Each structure stands twice: as C-alpha cells, then as structure tokens.
C-alpha cells in the first residue's frame, strides 16, 4: 500500500470518529435540553399553582367562614342576626341585614366559581390533593343545593 492510501485511510477513520463523537455530543445536548425544558415547565406550573392558590386561598376561606357564621346565626341561635336586625330593627337595620345576608350567601359560590375558572386547565400538583379539594367543593355545593 502506498503512503498516500494509508494517510487517506487514517484521515477517513479520524473523520468517522469525529462524526460519531459529534453525533453523540449532539444527542447528549438534545437530551439535556429536553430535561432542562421539562424542569423549567415543572417549575413554571408550580409557580402558577402557588400563585393561584395564594391569590384565592385567603378570600375563599374568609367567604366560607362568613357563610358558616351567618348560617349558624340564622339557624342555631335564638337571638341571632336576623332576629335582632330583621325582626326588631329599624328599617335601615332590616335593609342592612337583608343585603348583608344576600352578599354572604352569594360570595362563597362566587369565589368558588372564580377559582374553578382560573384553575380549569391548571395542574394543581398532587392528584390526591386535587381529589380532596374537588370533593370538598362538591360536597359544599351539594349541601348548598339541598333543600334540607
């Protein structure tokens, strides 16, 4: 074999090795890019979930507490909110009692609807937490829709 043929073969082997190494590096870079994109998307979902939950968590709890308190005042106590303000109050107090009660009764379902619309397509994280939250909201909705 001539020296030129040997040099050409060596260069051919080096070129093939370079192509193989380049392909391997490209594949590794693609895998790392995909992993980075996956982590970034996970972080973005987590931040979005935290944002929605922190934005509406307090207002939903406050609305639920106000609703519970007003219903307890109406149903359980002998001298409750409506007895004091509606039956024995001035016209101004009766109007306040009516409007305030209507607001409290409408605020909770309104807050739930806002959250439902905001998180319709948002992954709330752990599936068990999702099921628990949905079960609580559905249970409360059933009670509110009941005529018992």
Q: Which of 148, 129, 140 lies closest to 65 in space, CA to CA?
A: 140
Domain that holds residue 141: 3-145
Tens of pLDDT, residues 2-31: 888 888 888 888 888 888 888 888 989 999
CA 17 – CA 63 distance, rounded (Å) = 68
CA 69 – CA 81 distance, rounded (Å) = 10
Give how many domains the chain has, as a whole number: 1
Looking at per-residue pLDDT, the higher value among 82 and 35 belongs to 35
Residue 65 host element (H or E):
helix 3-75
Tens of pLDDT, residues 95-117: 888 898 899 989 988 888 887 77
> Per 3-state DSSP, what percentage of the chain is helix, strand, and coil (rounded to 5)?
85, 0, 15
Reported pTM: 0.55
Handedness of CA 64, 66, 69, 73 (dihedral sign): negative
Residue with structure tokens 């106000």?
66
């Amino acid at each position: 074999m001539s020296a030129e043929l040997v040099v050409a073969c060596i260069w051919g082997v080096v070129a093939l090795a370079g192509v193989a190494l380049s392909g391997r590096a490209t594949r590794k870079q693609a895998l790392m890019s995909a992993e980075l994109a996956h982590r970034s998307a996970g972080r973005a979902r987590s931040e979005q979930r935290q944002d929605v939950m922190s934005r509406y968590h307090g207002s939903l709890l406050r609305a639920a507490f106000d609703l519970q308190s007003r219903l307890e005042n109406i149903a359980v106590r002998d001298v409750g909110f409506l007895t004091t303000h509606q039956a024995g109050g001035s016209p101004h107090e009766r109007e306040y009692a009516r409007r305030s009660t209507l607001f409290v009764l409408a605020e909770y379902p309104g807050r739930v609807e806002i959250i439902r619309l905001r998180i319709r397509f948002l992954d709330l994280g752990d599936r068990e937490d999702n099921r628990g939250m949905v079960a609580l909201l559905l249970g409360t909705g059933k009670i509110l829709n009941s005529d018992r």
